[in-house]
Amino acid sequence: MSPDPTHYELLGVATDAHKDDIRAAYQDKLADVRDHRANEEASKRPSDTVIQAARDEEAHLRAAWQVLSDPVQRQRYDDQVGVAPGSDAGDDDRDDDEPDEDDTDTDTPATRDRPPRGAQSLVTAEGLEIPSVGRRTTAAVIDVVTMTVGYLVIVVPAVLLISDSATAQTVALGLALLFIVLYLILPTYRGGQTLGKRYTHIMVVDRATGDLPTSGQIMRRYSIPVVALILLGPTGPLIAGIFAASFLMNRDQVSLADRFAKTAVVIARYRPTRPR
């Protein structure tokens, strides 16, 4: 059995290639793989095997780019595979105005994100780069604070204006559900990011493909904490908090919600696509 190709071999570049050349090779190969997958999915009899192979290849290409685009990770990888650094391998500093991946028309903070030099990041077998615990915790705190303030400013005053307790309870429940849909579910469906995730440059994706999560995945991801918050009274926030903080329990930060929905929270270093 032949050994697995190195990141350089996978992208078809020399071991001393400049980052610009690596980026160009990565974008070309990624475009070819995505076109191949799209054509197969649009065919009359799409092959699940071919589609999955294309997804696997895309994940491997993404993992190679994530490593070789970062000087620190690249140097560590070169040491692992026994590559002598070339003249451009170790001094390719990051440029905050330079897009990391596809040269698309997006110019959002997520597509221009850069982890600190020397920061440790975990790349999963699917080629997804897991953020630091601090970054994900910051996103969670932002979302919790924003939702709490929104609830106090929007829902509570509306309920206080209603004298009938049954009506007030119904209105409170309806407004809370609407607020959750507008703040959590719709933004996650559209771009994989709530306000907290957007601010910290992370996003929710399908764990197997790196694509945006489906509507079903999003509903599964948020269903248990939402039901707990709305229907379980004082114990609801505790259960929702356990689900929110459960990513701290394992190294790859797969929370209970992510495990239930088969999603992952990753660094927003690329623009995920909507699955067909």
Token pair 């001094």 is at which residue? Answer: 91
Instruction: Tell me the three-class secondary structure of the chain, residue by residue.
Output: CCCCCCHHHHHCCCCCCCHHHHHHHHHHHHHHHHHHHHHHHHCCCCCHHHHHHHHHHHHHHHHHHHHHCCHHHHHHHHHHHCCCCCCCCCCCCCCCCCCCCCCCCCCCHHHHCCCCCCCCCEECCCCCEECCHHHHHHHHHHHHHHHHHHHHHHHHHHHHCCCCHHHHHHHHHHHHHHHHHHHHHHHHHHHCCCHHHHHCCEEEEECCCCCCCCHHHHHHHHHHHHHHHHHCCCHHHHHHHHHHHHHHHCCCCCCHHHHHHCEEEEECCCCCCCCC
The chain-wide mean pLDDT, for the chain, equals 79
Task: Render pLDDT for 156-171 as a digit per residue (tens, 0 to 9).
Answer: 887 788 878 888 888 8
**Number of C-beta neighbours around residue 176 at 10 A:** 19
Q: Is 193 exposed, middle or buried (0-12, 13-18, 19+ CB in 10 A)?
A: buried
Question: Residue 156: which of 128, 143, 178, 175 has the closest Cα?
Answer: 175
Q: What is the pLDDT along the chain (276 residues), one digit of tens a residue?
A: 457 788 998 899 998 889 888 888 888 888 888 888 888 888 888 888 888 888 888 888 888 887 888 888 888 888 888 876 554 544 444 443 333 444 433 333 333 344 433 344 565 655 677 888 889 999 999 998 998 898 888 878 877 888 788 888 888 888 888 888 899 999 999 999 999 999 999 999 988 778 899 999 999 999 888 888 777 777 888 888 888 888 888 777 888 899 999 999 988 877 787 766
Length of the chain: 276
Q: Which two tokens stand for residue 2?
A: 């032949």
- Cα separation of 207 and 106, whole Å? 23
Q: Is the pTM of this model over 0.95?
A: no
Structural domains for the chain: 7-93 (1.10.287.110), 133-267 (no CATH)
Q: Which residues pair with 7 in a beta bridge?
A: none
At 203 the pLDDT is 93
Summarize pLDDT for 172-191 with one digit per residue, the tens. Answer: 888 888 888 899 999 999 99
